[in-house]
């Protein structure tokens, strides 16, 4: 099965943008996708890194359900989170053609403007090599929900 079929199965729908699998599990299954900054129809896509792995998604969902978003925001300095959002946006925006006219993706990690909205998006970027303090926090707390 090719990556497009695997990702469609993992997402439960056909991907609506170009993507690249940037992290795979031990069996070669996609775990993290790096999305193009626009969907095929031109809609801005703020989420540069998408967590696609089933098991990882399930664990992060448990961490979020256990209050992980509030805990991460309370334990990580706001300026560190803001800096991460700025780095994420800069990386995504660097992939937008200089002559692009029209709506652009906005926000930082997962389109968030400030704070933490989604541990999944932060962890995806962290796994892909991003300097994300929230992703590091998630990594340190995943054992709490296994």
pTM of the full structure: 0.95
Structure tokens at 30: 């996609």
Under 8 Å between Cβ of 107 and 88: no
pLDDT in tens, the chain (146 residues): 799 999 999 999 999 999 999 999 999 999 999 999 999 999 999 999 999 999 999 999 999 999 999 999 999 999 999 999 999 999 999 999 999 999 999 999 999 989 999 999 999 999 999 999 999 999 999 998 87
Under 8 Å between Cβ of 125 and 88: yes
How is the chain split into domains, by residue range?
3-145
135: exposed, middle or buried (Cβ count in 10 Å: 0-12, 13-18, 19+): buried
Structure tokens at 146: 């296994």
* Neighbouring-strand partners of residue 34: 20, 49
């Amino acid at each position: 099965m090719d990556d497009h079929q695997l990702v469609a199965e993992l997402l439960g729908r056909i991907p609506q943008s170009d993507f690249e699998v940037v992290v795979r599990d031990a069996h070669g299954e996609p775990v993290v996708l790096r999305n193009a900054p626009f969907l095929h129809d031109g809609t801005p896509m703020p989420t540069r890194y998408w967590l696609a792995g089933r098991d990882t998604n399930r664990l992060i969902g448990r961490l979020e359900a256990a209050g992980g978003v509030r805990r991460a925001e309370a334990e990580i300095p706001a300026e560190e989170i803001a800096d991460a959002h700025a780095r994420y946006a800069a990386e995504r925006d660097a992939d937008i053609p200089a002559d692009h006219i029209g709506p652009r993706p906005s926000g930082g990690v997962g389109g968030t403007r400030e704070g933490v909205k989604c541990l999944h998006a932060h962890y995806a970027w962290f796994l892909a090599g991003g300097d994300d303090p929230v992703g590091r926090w998630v990594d340190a707390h995943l054992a709490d929900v296994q």
